Amino acid sequence: MPGETMPFVSVDVWSLIMTWGNLIILYFIVKKLLFKPVNKMLQDRENEIQKTIDDANTSRDEAHKLEEEYKKHLENAKEEAGEIVKTAQQKAQVRSEEIIRNAQQQASMIMKKADEQIEKERISALEQTKGEISEIAVMIAEKVVKKDLTNDDHERMIEEIIDNLDK
């Protein structure tokens, strides 16, 4: 129909009544199924926390008592430790003197062996040096025999031999 328009906003009374009815029913269901268990859980948690706090207070009181006992034991232990340390220091002094004597004897033996080893090494080095000098002399003789040398050739040859020794 050409002249009629539909209302943009309309209120349907039955829809409004049904919506409110559904809301009330949903409220009671949620209250029954959600609020009571949650409240019970919160109460249980509160009781558990209170019990933990009470246990902590009891433990703290016991800890204070134990602390006092340990302080007394600690004082006695300090006295005993002092005596033990004094005895240990005396024993350590005797032992250190013995160790020093043994170390001096061992050092003397090591020095003697080192002197002997140094002498052997010196003799070995001298023999090795003699061998190397002999080889150098032989190399020089071979070079001299192969050709007549001028002073420049002689100096050059000596430098070559020295360079070969370094390698």
pLDDT, tens only, 9-68:
677 888 889 999 999 999 988 888 888 888 889 999 999 999 999 999 999 999 999 999
| One-letter amino acid of 110 | I
53 half-sphere exposure, CB direction, 13 A CA radius: 6
Quick check: is 7 in a domain?
no
Quick check: is 125 in a domain?
yes
Question: How many Å apart are CA 127 and CA 147, to the nearest integer?
Answer: 31
Quick check: is 3 in a domain?
no
Quick check: is 65 in a domain?
yes
Question: How many Å apart are CA 146 and CA 160, to the nearest integer?
Answer: 16
| One-letter amino acid of 105 | Q
Quick check: is 10 in a domain?
no
**Among the listed residues 127, 139, 145, 126, the one whose alpha carbon sits nearest the alpha carbon of residue 165:** 139
- pTM for the complete prediction? 0.31
Quick check: is 56 in a domain?
yes
3-state DSSP assignment of residue 106 = helix
Question: How many Å apart are CA 21 and CA 15, to the nearest integer?
Answer: 10
Quick check: is 101 in a domain?
yes
More confident position, 164 or 105: 105
**Domains identified in the chain, total number:** 1
Q: Which domain holds residue 54?
A: 16-166
Question: How many Å apart are CA 143 and CA 135, to the nearest integer?
Answer: 12
Quick check: is 6 in a domain?
no
> pLDDT of 65-81, one tens digit each?
999 999 998 888 888 98
